[in-house]
Amino acid sequence: MSNPILASTLHDLLDADFAASPTTASSVGLTDDDDRLDDLSADAVRRRDEDAARFLGKLERIGDIGPDGEALSVDDALDRDVAIAVLRGRMIVAPFEGWRRDPVTYSGPVTSGLFTLFLNRLRPEADLVDAAISRLSQVGDAVDAGIANLDPALAHPLIVERGMNAAKGATRYVRDLVWADVEDDGRRTRLREAGESAAPHLERWVAHLQGLVGRAHGTWQLGEERYSRVLQERETLGDDARALRDRGRAELDRLDGEMSALAKDAAGNADYVEVLRTDDERHPPTEQAMLDTYADWTARARAFLAETGLVTLPPGESCAVVPSAVFQRPILGVASYSSPPAFSDRWKGHFFVPFAPDGASEQEIQARLSNNSYGSIPTTAVHETYPGHHWHMVMRKAGASDIRRVYSTPYFSEGWALYAERVMRERGFFEDPIQELHHLNATLFRAARIVVDTSLHLGEMSFDEAVAFMMDRAAMPEPVAKAEVGRYCSWPTQASSYLTGCLEILAIRERYLAARGFDGVSPRDVPIEVLRDFHDGITSSGALPLGLAERAVMATLA
């Protein structure tokens, strides 16, 4: 890095972030503080907000010309600008005080801080067990912080109940599961005993939340002003919240016509909702069968990339297809992905298949399985693995700077994964029209998410109206729709990221191809090596706000 002030500031910023969140440091492969949980006290939260303001001021004073008169390189300017965007985002949402509203703030670091230790196994088992036991000994501190911080005047009953379900999953995890994969008998016993000691603290947390549900009378609504500022200042987009909602509605209408035509081709019936619901009955009969089907389509997607050369596959990468973690199941009803730690020599990612929560009825299990039908699994596998999240994350790990390995935005990462579905359809991966229809439904689902997420946080749609909208417009079973909408309420702006990001990446691709001499040429007909250059260039730059991502990939043409 040519500018020493910039280099020092970015280094100090990452150090401050990792000191404030040791569980985040563990997740990216930095193991020095594996024995510490995050400090979740009110004072610690306020210190992080103060740090964000201080670092933002420093970075905004660093211009494009350094003290030596040299201009910042493209990469240095990208590093500076992505850090500025991230810090502006923190400052925008800081007054909302999510840490006083959402119980998952306190159970999340406990479960993820233990889970990632054993998922990635970056150290010998003896060291991992010692670190996990130390973190388990600090669970009471996390619970005490949550009890002190949660405010019934700010928290909404829905968010509290969702957090209570997460806390129940966390209790089961620390008591019954965290020790299960430890090979040594003595270490396994020690870890089980530590989990048994920590579990009563989480039970105390559950009991507190049960009492809080009836008293909570706050809101989940981020509000129009904050939502719009996140889009424009954090994500470098031109839309405000209402313009984005209009964009989502327009895509719903456009997709309606395309899907009607495809449904008629696939099943002789233009009512695509009926066609999809009928096809949802054709699903794996058990969760294990669902897992096996996802593993098969993940392997097929990777083989397709290797055969066509649509992307470059980094050497040594792999993706394991596994059941979702027990503690995630109560609050996440869809597939998910965990990348290999950025600062490690590991290249294996994990694709988590959405199993039902403990205690789910057979009816609920079957409803969830119907949301993972044989027709829909191919597009989900592409989204989560090749060339979706997994491939993007290993390219980012291989090519991005330290700051861009850590800082990201879902508007790129989720936008990329939805774009991956689109480009695989363009290049002929899907085998029959019903699979293509499910891909389009996945896109329509993301358009519906834009409408619902913006409307929820503008205060113009209730939870029940949002559930009904998702069931009606995205052909979604009720249990999945409820889990989805609960997620939108607790994680404002994220649900809008998928299709928004995809549309922006498609626009960037159009401009990139024009610059390469393929203006107006259908992407189906563009030489594969040109598309590969675009894919490799934009993903290896990181998971940037879209305006910065375009800068990065266009710089590869210079």
Q: Are 209 and 262 within one domain?
A: no
Q: Are 317 and 175 within one domain?
A: no
Q: How many domains does the chain have?
A: 2
Arithmetic mean of pLDDT over the chain: 94
pLDDT computed for residue 231 by the predictor? 97
- Within a domain: residue 231? no
Q: Are 197 and 276 within one domain?
A: no
Mean pLDDT of the region 393-401: 94
- % the chain with pLDDT above 90: 86
Q: Are 316 and 431 within one domain?
A: yes
In terms of residue numbers, what domain contains 191? 4-213
Q: Are 112 and 17 within one domain?
A: yes
What is this structure's pTM? 0.93
Task: Please say which residue of 213, 244, 264 terminates a domain.
Answer: 213
User: Distance between CA 42 and CA 46 in Å, rounded?
Assistant: 6
Phi and psi dihedrals of 318, rounded to 5? -155, 165
Question: In whole angstroms, how far apart are CA 269 and each of 159, 259, 370, 434, 471?
Answer: 40, 11, 20, 12, 20
Mean pLDDT of the region 482-502: 94
Q: Are 495 and 551 within one domain?
A: yes
User: Distance between CA 226 and CA 54 in Å, rounded?
Assistant: 21
Helices (H) and strands (E) counted in the chain, each on its own, are 24, 3
Nearest to 280 by CA among 269, 272, 288: 272
- Within a domain: residue 226? no
Phi and psi dihedrals of 438, rounded to 5? -65, -35
Residue 67 confidence (pLDDT) above 80: no
- Within a domain: residue 122? yes
pLDDT computed for residue 331 by the predictor? 63
pLDDT computed for residue 296 by the predictor? 98
Q: Which runs of E-coded beta strand occur in 201-344?
A: 318-323, 336-338
Question: In whole angstroms, how far apart are CA 288 and each of 165, 293, 322?
Answer: 24, 9, 10
- Within a domain: residue 475? yes
pLDDT computed for residue 51 by the predictor? 97
pLDDT computed for residue 530 by the predictor? 97
Task: Please say which residue of 151, 181, 213 terminates a domain.
Answer: 213
* Distance in Å from the first CA to the final CA of the chain: 20
Task: Please say which residue of 157, 182, 213 terminates a domain.
Answer: 213
- Within a domain: residue 244? no
pLDDT computed for residue 367 by the predictor? 82
- DSSP label at residue 253: H
User: Distance between CA 483 and CA 450 in Å, rounded?
Assistant: 16
State the DSSP H helix or E strand holding residue 351, giving kind and residue range, or none if neither: strand 348-353
Instruction: Identify the band that residue 181 occupies on the pLDDT scale cut at 50, 70 and 90.
Output: confident
Q: Are 196 and 325 within one domain?
A: no
Nearest to 129 by CA among 58, 203, 194, 208: 194
Q: Are 143 and 37 within one domain?
A: yes
Mean pLDDT of the region 283-307: 97
Q: Are 206 and 283 within one domain?
A: no
Q: What is the pLDDT of residues 545-555, one digit of tens each?
A: 999 999 999 99
pLDDT computed for residue 405 by the predictor? 96
Residue 357 confidence (pLDDT) above 80: yes
Mean pLDDT of the region 229-253: 96
Q: Are 282 and 205 within one domain?
A: no
- Within a domain: residue 228? no
Q: Environment class of residue 510 by beta-carbon count within 10 Å: exposed (0-12), middle (13-18) or buried (19+)?
A: middle
- Within a domain: residue 248? no
- Within a domain: residue 368? yes
User: Distance between CA 255 and CA 258 in Å, rounded?
Assistant: 5
User: Which CATH number covers residue 301?
Assistant: 1.10.390
pLDDT computed for residue 153 by the predictor? 98
Q: Are 166 and 313 within one domain?
A: no
Q: What is the pLDDT of residues 440-478, one digit of tens each?
A: 999 999 999 999 999 999 999 999 999 999 988 887 778
Q: Are 324 and 446 within one domain?
A: yes
